[in-house]
A = this chain, B = another copy of it.
Amino acid sequence: MVVRSPLTDDELDRLFRALADATRRDIVTRLLAGEPASVSTLAARYDMSFAAVQKHVAMLEEAGLVSKESRGRERIVRSNPERIAQARALLFKLEQIWISRFSQLDDVLADPKPPTRK
């Protein structure tokens, strides 16, 4: 099994920021539901320029939510479900922190430290 090292603050920033846009969420959804697709195939779906969609895909790639592979003149974009799972894992951890307040098992999770500034 692959070791899932916890994401850094910067990686989490990029991940949640990437998810904070409806077009990008839709791209991820389509890639999860269907086949990998070229950037222009994706772009055809949306009411904006090719360059705009290309920038969205670039942000998704920086966030680790998708990866690109060269195929002739096309770049095939595929989703990376692992990153979704990692984002969900953080939210689950937050919920557990809250839930643990009502049980005696308060030592389930480490105490948080304030983030260091960039």
| Residues of A in contact with B (beta carbons under 8 Å apart) | 9, 12-17, 19-23, 25-26, 28-30, 32-33, 45-48, 79, 81, 84-85, 87-88, 91-92, 94-95, 97-98, 101, 111-112, 114-115, 117
The residues of B that contact A21 with a CB separation of less than 8 Å are: 13
CB distance from A97 to the nearest CB of B (A): 5
Q: Is the CB of B85 within 8 A of A95?
A: yes
Say how many copies of this protein the assembly contains: 2
Contact assessment for A94 and B20 in the assembled complex, using a CB-CB cutoff below 8 Å: no
Give the dominant DSSP class at A's interface.
helix
Cβ-defined contact, A79 with B91, below 8 A: no
Given A95-B88, A98-B81, is A115 in contact with B20 using a C-beta cutoff of 8 Å? no
Q: How far is the CB of A56 from chain B (nearest CB, A)?
A: 11
- Please name the residue on chain B nearest to A25 by beta carbon: B12
Q: Are B98 and A32 in contact (CB under 8 A)?
A: yes
Across the interface, which residues of B come within 8 angstroms of A92, CB to CB?
88
